[in-house]
Amino acid sequence: MNTIGNFLWIIFGGLIIAIEYAISSIILMLTIVGIPFGLQTLKLADLALWPFGRDTRTNEISSGCLSVFMNFLWIIVGGFWIFLTHMILGLILAITIIGIPFARQHFKLAALAFTPFGREVYIK
């Protein structure tokens, strides 16, 4: 089921989302200050390409004040808009029964897009 879901996800916009995340990651990594944000955007790109069969969890090692500060800075700089985009797309897809699995993936991406620092992606 995960393979079919990932294949349909890529066809219906997942590839475009992953490419957008990858391009923004490259742009962010052009400066030294943007490298941590670029790495988090790469994490988003990876999950946006293959979201079915993967999930995120809080990394207990990196739960310090630096992660909180970086998440706060991330939200101010642009993470809120990414979060909002995923929430809107998820709500639109949740209207139909067929779109509910894709809406769940957008909600998962929204959670990671809101606070990416201190979280890791793992395979279920």
* Dist CA 30 CA 12 (whole Å): 30
* Dist CA 68 CA 30 (whole Å): 24
| Residue 62 confidence (pLDDT) | 61
pLDDT in tens, 36-94: 888 888 988 888 899 998 888 887 776 678 888 888 988 888 889 889 988 998 999 89
Tokens at 103, concatenated: 């809406």
| Residue 94 confidence (pLDDT) | 92
Which CA distances in Å does 95 have to 82, 88, 91?
A: 21, 11, 7
What is this structure's pTM?
A: 0.82
Assign 30 a pLDDT band (cuts: 50, 70, 90).
Answer: very high
| Residue 63 confidence (pLDDT) | 64
Report which DSSP code applies to 57: E
* Dist CA 120 CA 57 (whole Å): 6
